Chain A
Amino acid sequence: MTTPEVTPAAGMNWRRASMAGVVALPIIALLAFGLTRDPGEIKSPLPGKMAPDFALEVFAPGEPGQERAVGDTIRLSELRGQVVVLNFWASWCLECRREHQALTEVAADYATRGVKFYGVLYNDSPSAGKRWIDEMGGQSYPSVNDARTRTAIDYGLYGAPETFFIAKDGRVAYKHIGAVTDRLLMQKLDSLLAAPAGTP
């Protein structure tokens, strides 16, 4: 835009102009601030709080070392004293494909150090879930089915994948939205394993 030839008919009314500027500037600053934020990223109130308990049935057993029988009920409360990783996933979720290898490998590595990984099937059918696991070449840890989505709501889920790291004292230590990487998994787990039980 140009500001050509302002024939100064009389004194410029700068007071009025600056007043208008005072109103407009904060709005522009606010919008600029908005550009640095991701509207999809919403702070979860869960970290630091006790992880909601659940009792869900295993539909995919996992591999030896971490195996649980199909039909077993997993209760979070029975896992107190161990570091737990919950990964909410679904066969229709594209990002889940990206993180699958990292999850299954890190889970196998850390199984010996007492870390429990569980997949939680979100908004999907166990048969589709099993097909997906076969297609992806197996999942080292067991997966449970959140048939009524209540556990997902309990964990404040926005979509899949989301991964929760639960400390030995049963508190949510960290929540990750979107695909995880092996580096992130190892870093979080190492710090959780290093912390004595009782500190978040």
Chain B
Amino acid sequence: MTRAIGASALYVSLAATVAALFLVTFGARRRKEAWLNAGYAATYLQFGLMTAATFAMIFGLVAHDFSIEYVAQVGSRATPLYYTVISLWGALEGSILFWGWVLALLTALVVFWNRSRAGNLIPYTTATMLGVGIFFQFLLVAPAFPFGAVFPVPPDGPGPNPLLQNHWLMGIHPPLLYLGYVGMTVPFAFAMGAMASGEVGDGSWIRLSRRWTLGAWAFLTAAIIAGMWWSYEVLGWGGYWAWDPVENASFMPWLTATAFLHSVMVQERRGLLKLWNLNLVVATFALTILGTFLTRSGVLSSVHAFTEGLIGYYFLVAIAITLLASFVLVAGNSERLVSFGKLEGVASRGTVFLFNNLLLTAFTFTVLVGTLFPLFAEAIRGEKVSVGEPFFNRMTIPICAALLFLMGVGPALPWKEADRATLRRKLLPPLVGAVAGLLVSVFAGARSPYAVMAFAFAAFAAVANIGEFVEGARARMRMRGESAVDALGNLLATNRRRYGGYVAHLGVVAVAVAITASSTFRAEHEATLKKGESMTVGGLQVRLEEVWGREEPQRSVIGTTVAILRDGREIARLDPRMNFYPTSQQPVPTPAVRSRPSGDIYMNLQAFAQDGTNATLRVIVEPLVPWIWAGGMIICLGALISIAPFRRQAPAVVTEPEPALASPAPVAAT
């Protein structure tokens, strides 16, 4: 029954989406209001149907309805409820279903908030989103059909992939990633809609999609950070980023979207870079599809990859169509994309944005080349090579350092040409900060030039961005006599976009410092300990207390109890474990982490004697790691501040139902 409801909802939804696409497109071309409205209604309908299909699947999972192929594939009666629900995205078909549902939701929201706008921009934007929706819904009824029938109905299933049911973060990371990925469809759709309707010249598509872009970017940021966290907590190697193809795939659209968030300000203020911004939006969307392709096609091996299949070819065709359609539209709009503006000066913020874009593009390109090079080498030479962490670190750390530097210069420079006095006043404190950062890091024992450079530039950027807050608040205190706290609050409230950006910058600084510190100053040691024996790592004594075993409904657990002592006093007890799932040959490492703002003690059980007399432990002391996660949250907070409505709210309760998306934002906000 559930199966029938889900399956028919998918088929009808595909039909509704196709109908909506035609109605919206031809309604706009022939100027038939009724067709347009019918198309919009069909858009809501397909959202309703996708919702029905998704909830049918969740219901099937929770009810352990093993007559549904997908449930039989990922479900098991022993799996706890939380992991049962999130196994919705634990395998290919379910993840596409979830993706299709989020896309349908966003499409409906775009229509709901913008449908009253005159002109063909919104119809064509909707049509683009529906077109993408058709692709995913087609996958759902053809190669990734999740509601296949299983007969005879098995009494139980194997349960989700052990790696996906070993940590609660698996319930957070994938939905964030999908919201980020799918969210990037919206600015892309607005760009395509603007070009198709000929409204690309005035840049209104940018204003309408600005908050969507920021929102999608914030989700993508959160998803990447949550992915790092998951990797750190689950894979047992003590790291959080391995430059794995799938990690790279989520990082590339983030880089191009970040570039867009900056370069779009140049277009809004000076009318430059129109074509470039379109390219960035298209590239971001194409990279999200590429990322999905890399995750799902099995082209590149990765810890995060799903099983392979024919689905890769469909994604390849989707990438080709996306690029083709974009190229044709860009070519057709070439006259409208001519920029007439001028930069306001050489030593100005605009120039910094251009270099920021250059570096982010180079960053993206480096990651892309590195990710695809093994394929290229195999195609040309017939031999596989690896491009891994040492390569990416060597190539991208200088870019990161330069970006940190620009992150300090940008906010310090005015849009207008800066004179010497301004430059001195603005750049002197950050320079002092940079020297301080350099000295502190050298004093702390950093010797690698990369690390010292990173600390110095991070300090530079931090001082510059904090300086903007200080300067703005001081001006308010002086001119309006506000208290320091009021001044800071009002500063944020009156120019959310700008100061939200600076908050995000500070988050990036936190992440950069934490990553550099945790890789530069880490101390690690691995040893086989008998019960009662201890080893010393980073000034801590680590003593093996107990080796134990435990049976749980869905798995068996072998664990150790380990005491951590500082100066002979016990400060913590950790229990690194190995979880054995019936479906997996190899145990799933389950490291234990003690987190403090100053850093983590990370402990993984590498091996154990079967008689329980000894265990091999790997202990890593990693300074500042929690600041990576905190920094990610600060970045998202910055994006949230920027997304919030511009107009200052009256002190009364916010009752305005109209979300900010439709309200025209002032052009030159900064």
Q: Do A and B come into direct contact in the complex, CB within 8 Å?
A: yes
Q: Using CB atoms, name the residue of chain B closest to A90.
A: B585
Minimal Cβ-Cβ distance residue in A for B198: A7
A153 within 8 A of B: no
The answer to whether A30 touches B379 (Cβ under 8 A) is yes
Interface window among B79-87, B311-319, B440-448: B311-319
Which residues of B sit under 8 angstroms from A17, Cβ to Cβ? Answer: 327-328, 330-331
| CB-based contact A31/B293 at 8 Å | yes
Chain B positions within 8 Å of A34 at CB level:
297, 299-300, 375
The reply to whether A12 and B327 form a contact with Cβ atoms under 8 Å apart is: no
Q: CB distance B329 to A28 under 8 Å?
A: no
Cα distance, A180 to B93, chains bound together (Å)? 32
Q: Are A24 and B323 in contact (CB under 8 A)?
A: yes
Q: How far is the CB of A11 from chain B (nearest CB, A)?
A: 8
Give the segment of A35-43, A47-55, A70-78 that binds chain B: A35-43
Q: What residues of chain A lie closer than 8 Å to B198, measured between beta carbons?
A: 7, 9
Q: How far is the CA of A39 from the CA of B333 in the complex (A)?
A: 41
Evaluate contact between B25 and A43: CB separation under 8 angstroms.
no
A54 to chain B, nearest CB (A): 23
Chain B contacts with A in 166-211, Cβ cutoff 8 A: 192, 195-198
Q: Hey, what's the 0/1 contact readout for A1-14 against B, CB within 8 Å counting as 1?
A: 11111111111111
Q: Which of A3, A24, A37 contacts B328 (CB 8 A)?
A: A3
Verify B333–A31 contact, CB threshold 8 A. Answer: no
Residues in chain A near residue B322, CB distance under 8 A: 1
Task: Tell me the interface secondary structure of chain A in the complex.
Answer: loop
Q: Are A1 and B316 closer than 8 Å at their CB atoms? A: no
Of B125-133, B404-412, B525-533, the one contacting chain A is: B125-133
Q: How far is the CA of A2 from the CA of B120 in the complex (A)?
A: 14
The reply to whether A94 and B585 contact each other, CB–CB distance below 8 Å, is yes
Complex partner residue of A1 from B132, B312, B332, B376, CB under 8 angstroms: B132
With A14-B331, A16-B334, A34-B375 known as contacts, the answer to whether A2 contacts B323 (CB < 8 A) is no
Task: Tell whether, in the assembled complex, residue B299 and residue A35 are in contact, meaning their CB atoms are under 8 Å apart.
Answer: yes
User: In the complex, are the beta carbons of B131 and A1 less than 8 A apart?
Assistant: yes
- With CB as the reference atom, state the residue of chain B lying closest to A23: B323
* Given A9-B332, A28-B320, A30-B372, A35 contacting B196 (CB threshold 8 A): no
How far is B321's CA from A5's CA once the two chains are assembled, in angstroms? 17
Instruction: Let me know if A194 is at the binding interface, CB within 8 A.
Output: no
The chain A residue with its CB closest to the CB of B368 is: A27
Which chain A residue lies CB-closest to B335?
A: A10
Are A31 and B375 in contact, with the CB atoms below 8 A? yes
CB distance from A43 to the nearest CB of B (A): 6
State in angstroms the CA–CA spacing of A3 and B196 once bound together: 7
Contact status B379-A39, CB under 8 Å: no
B-contact bits for A120-152, CB 8 A (1 contact / 0 none)? 000001000000000000000000000000000
Q: Which B332-352 residues have a C-beta within 8 angstroms of A?
A: 332-336
A13 cross-chain contacts in B, Cβ below 8 A: 330-331, 334
What is the CB-to-nearest-CB distance from B59 to chain A, in angstroms, rounded to a whole number? 32
Shortest distance between the CB of A171 and any CB in chain B (Å): 21
Compute how far the CA of A35 lies from the CA of B308 in the bound complex, rounded to whole angstroms: 9
Complex interface: chain B residues within 8 A of A12 (CB) = 331-332, 334
Distance between Cα atoms of A197 and B275 in the complex (Å): 69
Contact A2 B293 (CB under 8 A): no
Q: How far apart sit A34 and B301, CA to CA, in the bound complex (Å)?
A: 11
Question: Cβ of A92 < 8 Å from any Cβ of B?
Answer: yes
User: How many angstroms between the C-alpha atoms of A7 and B333 in the bound complex?
Assistant: 8
Complex contact B335–A9 (CB within 8 A): yes
Chain A minimum-CB-distance residue to B134? A1
Asked if B124 is at the interface of the complex by the 8 Å CB criterion, the answer is yes
Could you say which residues of chain B place their CB within 8 Å of the CB of A38? 298
State in angstroms the CA–CA spacing of A91 and B561 once bound together: 28
Main secondary structure of the interface of B (DSSP, over half): helix
Instruction: Check if A32 sits within 8 Å of B335, measured CB to CB.
Output: no
Q: Is residue A64 within 8 Å, beta carbon to beta carbon, of the partner chain?
A: no
Q: Is B419 interfacial (CB 8 A cutoff)?
A: no
Nearest residue, chain B, Cβ from A20: B327
- Residue among B297, B334, B383, B610 with max Cβ neighbours from chain A (10 Å): B334
User: Please, which residues of chain A bring their CB within 8 A of the CB of B316?
Assistant: 28, 31-32, 35
Chain A residues within 8 Å of B378, by CB: 37
With A16-B334, A35-B313, A40-B301 as known contacts, state yes or no: A2 contacts B127, CB within 8 Å: yes
A83 to B376, CA, bound (A): 38
Cβ of B299: which chain A residues have Cβ within 8 Å of it?
31, 34-35, 37, 39
Interface presence of B555 (CB below 8 A)? no
- CB atoms of B128 and A6 under 8 A apart: no
Name which residue of chain B comes closest to A35, CB basis.
B312
Q: How far is the CA of A14 from the CA of B320 in the complex (A)?
A: 17
Flag if B384 contacts A93 (CB, 8 Å). no
Residues of A within 8 A of B132 (CB): 1
Decide if B424 is an interface residue (CB 8 Å cutoff): no
Measured CB to CB, the nearest residue on chain A to B324 is A21
| Residue among B293, B331, B333, B585 having the largest count of chain A Cβ atoms under 10 Å | B331
Asked whether any CB of chain A lies closer than 8 Å to the CB of B325, the reply is yes
Q: Give A14 Cβ to nearest chain B Cβ, in Å.
A: 6
Given the contacts A14-B331, A30-B379, A92 and B323 also touching, CB distance less than 8 Å: no
Is B21 part of the contact surface with A, judged by Cβ < 8 Å?
yes
Chain B residues closer than 8 Å to A39, beta-carbon distance? 298-301
Closest-CB distance, A40 to chain B (whole angstroms): 6
Please tell me if the beta carbons of B330 and A42 are within 8 angstroms of each other in the complex.
no
Asked if A6 and B332 sit within 8 Å, CB to CB, the answer is yes
* A43 and B331 within 8 A (CB): no
| Interface positions of B (Cβ within 8 A of A) | 21, 25, 28-29, 120, 124, 127-128, 131-132, 135, 192, 195-198, 290, 293, 297-301, 312-313, 316, 319-325, 327-336, 372, 375-376, 378-379, 382-384, 585-586, 610
Further 15 A-B residue pairs, CB within 8 A, beyond A16-B334, A20-B323:
A1-B322, A5-B28, A11-B334, A13-B331, A14-B331, A17-B328, A20-B330, A21-B327, A24-B327, A31-B316, A31-B319, A35-B297, A35-B313, A37-B375, A37-B378
Query: Could you list 30 examples of A-B contacts with CB < 8 Å?
Result: A1-B131, A2-B21, A2-B131, A2-B325, A3-B325, A4-B124, A4-B127, A5-B124, A6-B195, A6-B328, A6-B329, A6-B332, A9-B335, A10-B334, A11-B334, A12-B334, A16-B330, A20-B327, A24-B327, A28-B320, A30-B372, A30-B376, A32-B316, A34-B299, A37-B299, A37-B378, A38-B298, A39-B299, A40-B301, A94-B585
